[in-house]
């Protein structure tokens, strides 16, 4: 079937909007959050034939720190190049691909092409989404795969049994892949099952559950065979603070209270901050959202639901995906702000604009107005993202903060002067590895200095970096341990402004000292 000429033009416009926004904010630097480096390291292990392993650890070992989906998607490109920029561009293409799928999803639901274009542009023109599209992080691949799964639902043929329909199997692959990209992808699985249940397609629902279980079993069996613990996300559910283990755990009532606190934050702060018109919010727990933000949030929720409702029977997969994602995020203890709804934001912006369109058309009909409402008017709302995108551009073009420049310079010193097998302890080992090429490890989050020293011995540490990256654990755990045992550490390199030290760790002296102090 030949594509209408104006539709082909709209696809070109969408690609142009993506290119202008993406390359305007593009950041060639490694992101300092660290997780992006771990994804790259795991992909490097896969590309080099070492399996899904942490090759930066003191001893290379299999890992389940992150689900394997995103590193697997990175691996083909990693075969041909070690370029970080190439991986970032791949993430940008995931964003474009997801936006195109939303465009065709809206057209499939008989919406005006112009509305589909504006909605797809809204999926791209979010500073939060663009920020993650230029990192080596899993959010954009998660968005693309979830958009593909939902689009494939629309491709299933009514007249054909589902078990003979390629679209069903392709959709199921996307759902399983989404879970293996991000654990919260289980929300997409639940949403698809909800969709089939609401459509009274019991066999399809059961087949989806069975297929999902089968798709997850290899990962589960692999981890069990290797004696690995459960996902770190499940471990965090009962923790008061994952970065302060001494704070202990929550009881059931504490977990429930935190669930509703986090859910309230997501609705009253994260949602208004993440979708058009991008309200500025203060995420500090002690600062309440206030009546104005709650009112704005409830209006946005109503409009988004109205927009999802316009997708007919597919409303349930969109509503379910949103509700289940918010619910899953609210369970975990890690402070999230709007971080973990990033992959959902394109769907929310699409739903919001479709909802506005439906409300305006309904109001004009009720008022017996003869004019037709043009979706192009909604494009004006896209301008609300301009200031945030400009701020993102400015931030991404800035150099690394001085503390990180020093940290990376220490990494370069290590790369030049020590063996790649040397083990170095620091607060951000995953970042250090990208610059030093050495083995890296962290330090014990313990107030007991002997426990900190013992972990260094256990990990085979030869050097320690004392930095000023701003993490509280450095001054809470590492610095006191060094102060109390200053006879075990010697300055190997020093960079000022701010003071950053590479310390040589005397392992033999440490072993003797601990043997003398232990009963």
- In this predicted structure, what is the pLDDT of residue 6? 87
pTM of the model: 0.94
87-91 long-range contacts, CB within 8 A, separation 24+: 87/40, 87/43, 87/136, 88/26, 88/27, 88/28, 88/134, 88/135, 88/136, 91/132, 91/133, 91/134, 91/135, 91/136, 91/137, 91/140, 91/141
Q: Which residue has the higher pLDDT, 230 or 200?
A: 200
CA angle, 383 then 388 then 390, to 5°: 90
As to burial, measured by CB atoms within 10 angstroms (0-12 exposed, 13-18 middle, 19+ buried), residue 336 is middle
Q: Which residue has the higher pLDDT, 246 or 311?
A: 311
- Mean pLDDT (whole number) for 201-215: 98
Q: How far apart are CA 50 and CA 43, in angstroms?
A: 10
Give the 3-state secondary structure of residue 505.
strand
Q: How far apart are CA 172 and CA 174, in angstroms?
A: 5
Q: Which of 107-121, 190-204, 244-258, 332-346 has the lowest mean pLDDT?
A: 244-258
As to burial, measured by CB atoms within 10 angstroms (0-12 exposed, 13-18 middle, 19+ buried), residue 384 is middle
pLDDT at 162 over 60: yes
| DSSP 8-state assignment for residue 339 | G
Is residue 56 within 8 Å of residue 439, measured between CB atoms?
A: yes
Measured CA to CA in angstroms, residue 411 lies from 31, 119, 126, 367, 497 at distances of 16, 44, 34, 68, 16
Q: How far apart are CA 129 and CA 124, in angstroms?
A: 7
pLDDT at 233 over 70: no
> pLDDT for 83-124, tens place per residue?
999 999 999 999 999 999 999 999 999 999 999 999 999 999
pLDDT at 243 over 60: no
> pLDDT for 43-60, tens place per residue?
999 999 999 999 999 999
- In this predicted structure, what is the pLDDT of residue 236? 64
* CA dihedral for 130, 97, 136, 331, sign (positive or negative): positive
Give the side-chain half-sphere CA count within 13 A for 227. Answer: 1
CA angle, 146 then 150 then 154, to 5°: 160
> pLDDT for 287-311, tens place per residue?
999 999 999 999 999 999 999 999 9
- In this predicted structure, what is the pLDDT of residue 517? 66
- In this predicted structure, what is the pLDDT of residue 142? 98
Structure tokens at 359: 């409300």
Band of residue 4 on the pLDDT scale cut at 50, 70, 90: confident
Position of tokens 């935190």? 258
Q: How far apart are CA 366 and CA 158, in angstroms?
A: 35
- In this predicted structure, what is the pLDDT of residue 237? 64
- Which positions ≥6 away from 178 have C-beta within 8 Å? 69, 142, 145, 146, 149, 185, 188, 189
> pLDDT for 329-372, tens place per residue?
998 756 678 889 999 999 999 999 999 999 999 999 999 888 88
Structure tokens at 273: 């901050």
Band of residue 172 on the pLDDT scale cut at 50, 70, 90: very high
Give the 3-state secondary structure of residue 255.
helix
Structure tokens at 244: 């302060």
> pLDDT for 262-284, tens place per residue?
899 999 999 999 999 999 999 98
């Amino acid at each position: 079937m030949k594509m209408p000429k104006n539709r082909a033009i709209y696809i070109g416009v969408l690609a142009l909007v993506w290119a202008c926004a993406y390359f305007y904010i593009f950041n060639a630097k490694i992101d300092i959050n660290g997780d992006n480096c771990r994804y790259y390291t795991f992909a490097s292990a896969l590309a080099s034939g070492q399996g899904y392993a942490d090759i930066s650890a003191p001893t290379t070992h299999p890992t389940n720190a992150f689900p394997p989906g995103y590193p697997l998607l990175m691996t083909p490109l990693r075969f041909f190049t070690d370029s970080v920029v190439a991986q970032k561009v791949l993430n940008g293409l995931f964003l474009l691909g997801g936006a195109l799928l939303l465009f065709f999803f809206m057209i499939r639901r008989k919406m005006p092409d112009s509305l589909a274009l504006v909605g797809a542009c809204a999926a791209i023109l979010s500073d939060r989404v663009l920020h993650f599209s230029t990192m080596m992080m899993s959010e954009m691949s998660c968005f693309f795969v979830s958009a593909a799964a939902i689009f494939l639902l629309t491709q299933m043929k009514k007249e054909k049994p589902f078990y003979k329909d390629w679209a069903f199997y392709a959709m199921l692959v996307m759902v399983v892949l989404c879970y293996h990209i991000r654990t919260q992808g289980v929300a997409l699985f639940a949403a698809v099952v909800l969709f089939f249940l609401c459509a009274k397609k019991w066999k399809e629902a059961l087949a989806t559950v069975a297929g999902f279980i089968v798709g997850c079993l290899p990962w589960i069996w692999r981890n069990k065979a290797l004696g690995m613990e459960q996902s770190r996300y499940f471990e965090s559910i009962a923790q008061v603070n994952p970065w302060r283990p001494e704070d202990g755990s929550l009881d059931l009532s504490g977990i429930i209270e935190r669930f509703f606190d986090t859910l309230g934050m997501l609705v009253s702060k994260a949602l208004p901050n993440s979708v058009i018109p991008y309200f500025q919010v203060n995420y500090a727990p002690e600062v309440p959202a206030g009546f104005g933000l709650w009112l704005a949030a409830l209006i946005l929720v109503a409009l988004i639901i109205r927009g999802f409702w316009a997708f007919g029977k597919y409303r349930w997969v969109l509503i379910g995906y949103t509700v289940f994602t918010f619910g899953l995020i609210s369970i975990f203890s890690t402070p999230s702000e709007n971080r973990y709804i990033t992959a959902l934001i394109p769907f929310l912006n699409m739903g919001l604009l479709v909802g506005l369109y439906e409300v305006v058309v309904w109001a004009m009909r009720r008022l017996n107005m003869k004019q037709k409402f043009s979706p192009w008017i909604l494009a004006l709302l896209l301008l609300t993202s301009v200031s945030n995108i400009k701020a993102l551009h400015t931030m991404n073009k800035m150099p690394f903060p001085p503390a990180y420049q020093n940290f990376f310079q220490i990494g370069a010193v290590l790369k030049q002067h020590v063996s790649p097998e040397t083990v170095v302890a620091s607060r951000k080992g995953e970042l250090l590895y990208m610059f030093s090429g050495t083995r890296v490890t962290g330090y014990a989050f313990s107030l007991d200095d002997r426990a900190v020293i013992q972990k260094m011995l256990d990990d085979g540490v030869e050097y320690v970096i004392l930095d000023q990256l701003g993490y509280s654990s450095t001054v809470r755990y590492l610095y006191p341990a060094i102060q109390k045992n200053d006879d075990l550490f010697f300055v190997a390199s020093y960079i000022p402004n701010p003071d950053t030290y590479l310390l040589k760790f005397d392992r033999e002296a440490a072993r003797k000292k601990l043997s003398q102090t232990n009963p």
